[in-house]
Structures are given as structure tokens and as C-alpha cells.
Amino acid sequence: MIPVIAVFAGALVGAGLAGLIRASLRSQPQLNAALDQINQAPTVDLEHEELSQDEKVGRWLIQHLQGLPGVTIRHKDLALLGKSPAVHMLTRVALGLLGLVFPTVLNCIVMITGYSLPVPVPLAVGIGVGALFFVLADWDVRDKAKRARIEFSHSIAAYLDLIALERAGDAGPSEALERAAEVGQGWPFVRIRQALEVARIDKIAPWVELKRMSNDLDLPQLADVADIMSLSSTQGAAVYNTLRARARSLRGELMAKQAEEANADSEKMTAPGGVLAVLVMALVGFPAVMHILFT
């Protein structure tokens, strides 16, 4: 007779497969709508919207889990990616629970064949897999935020050149910032335009809002833009050469980082290549060695 727990495990697996099939059969989105969604700024506005159930549960989890060993919240990274910390925490906990129960469910399925591991084994493996899944979501946010900052830095370099051109055309500091932001494309320029819009509504200097944005998103290059334009507004300094020089310097920094990452990736490939060469030589020489030993 099939154990009840095995039937339950099979039902869970079937429900998961049904969910995957349903997700794979979703209709294809329209190209224009997809492009508009990609170009939209990844912002999260939770103060003016009714909180969803996921948001409520995520906030409850943050209140009870924050401060525990290994539980960190990357507020600046999440803000840059436009993700809610509460929803991110809920995702991490869900992945952790999935990793925790997966070995046990797998063991229950194997029980159908008449074989099974001792109960402590899948439990111990589940704890390890659950902990790994819990931190994987955090690592994913860290890596995505790193790539987003690099993309933002390239946009800031272009933004500096655009501001310099506007200033060369006798545009004022505030006007130069706004005109240059309107010319740029991509989500970093959308975020900059939103910050300038907030400054205009709050009736504060645009470089003050850009400075705040640089602190919130950990973008020191944007703080340089704010400092240069603040100096231009208060002291009337000619900043064309300063802006162009900072743009060239920033591009040099980005190119140096790219070269460093490329060298690091090349070094990482050295060890696997050496291991592969040793395995090939062992495979080729094994028949000869066996022939010598046994003849």
C-alpha cells in the first residue's frame, strides 16, 4: 500500500508542475507594451498606494527577522532596482522554506519505490539547502545592483557631457540639468528626470535633490554632478571644462574597471582549463598504464 505521506508529496509535485505549465502558457505581451515597461523607471511608491497582501506579510517578516544573524536588507540596492524591501524579504523566506522542505518531499517520493533515507538526513540537507536559497535572493539583488550602478555610471558620464553643452549654450544651472535630462534615454535618465521633477514640486534646488538621490542609491558620481552645479550656481563659476573633464575621468574609471573584471574572468578560467587538461591526459594514458601493470 502506498504511504499517505508519499501520496501527499506527489500531490505537491503535481501542483508545482501544473503551476509551471500554466506560467509557460501565458500569452505573449505586445512589443510596444514590453518596451515601455523596460524603459519605465523602476520605482516603488508605497505611501500613496494600498498595501498588497505580499507587502503586509513582508513588513511583518522584516519586523520579526531583522537583526537576526545573516538577515540583512540592502535598502540602497533595492531602491536602485525599484524593489520593495518587504516583498524581497517575503521572497527570501519563501525560497528558504522551499529549500527546507524539498529534500523531505523528494525522500517521500523515493519511499514509493521502497527505499528511503533516515529522517535526520533529509532534514539536515533541507536546513542547508534552505539557508542557501535564503541568501541566494540577496546575492541576486547585490549582483543586479552592481550591474545597474555600472549602467547608471555610463549614463552619468553622458549626462555630464550634455550638461556641459547646455552650459556652453548659456543655459542656467537648473535649466541645463533639466534640458540635459530630457535628451538622455534609458531608465537612469528617467530616474534623474523624476528627481528633478520632485525638486521642482518641492521648490528646492535640483542639485540638492540629486545629492539626496546619490546618497539614497549609493551613486557617488551623481553627487559629483550635484556639487559641480551647486558651485556653478553659488559662485558663478564656469564649469564647462570641469564637466567635460569629469566625464572623461569617469569614462576612464569605467574602462579600467571593465579591464580589471575581464582579467579576473580570464584568471578564473585558468584553473578549470588545467583540470580539464589533466583529466584528458589521464584518460589517454589510463589504458597504457593498465596494460603495463597487468601484462
Residues 123 and 165 in one domain: no
Q: Does the pTM exceed 0.85?
A: no
Q: Tens digit of pLDDT for each residue in 98-142?
A: 888 888 888 787 777 777 677 777 788 888 888 888 888 889 999
Q: Tens digit of pLDDT for each residue in 53-65?
A: 888 888 888 887 8
Residues 125 and 164 in one domain: no
Q: Which of 145, 180, 215 is the last residue in one of the domains? A: 145
Residues 102 and 171 in one domain: no
Reduced 3-state DSSP string for the chain: CCCHHHHHHHHHHHHHHHHHHHHHCCCCCCHHHHHHHHHCCCCCCCCCCCCCHHHHHHHHHHHHHCCCCCCCCCHHHHHHHCCCHHHHHHHHHHHHHHHHHHHHHHHHHHHHHCCCCCCHHHHHHHHHHHHHHHHHHHHHHHHHHHHHHHHHHHHHHHHHHHHHHHHHCCCCHHHHHHHHHHHCCCHHHHHHHHHHHHHHHHCCCHHHHHHHHHHHHCCHHHHHHHHHHHHHHHHCCCCHHHHHHHHHHHHHHHHHHHHHHHHHHHHHCHHHHHHHHHHHHHHHHHHHHHHHHCC
Q: Which of 145, 177, 212 is the last residue in one of the domains? A: 145
Domain that includes residue 125, residue range:
4-10+46-145
* Residue 62 domain flag: yes
Residues 126 and 206 in one domain: no
* Residue 276 domain flag: no
Which of 58-67, 83-92, 158-167, 271-280 is least confident?
A: 271-280
Residues 141 and 73 in one domain: yes
Residues 59 and 104 in one domain: yes
* Residue 287 domain flag: no
Residues 111 and 153 in one domain: no
Residues 67 and 106 in one domain: yes
Residues 157 and 246 in one domain: yes
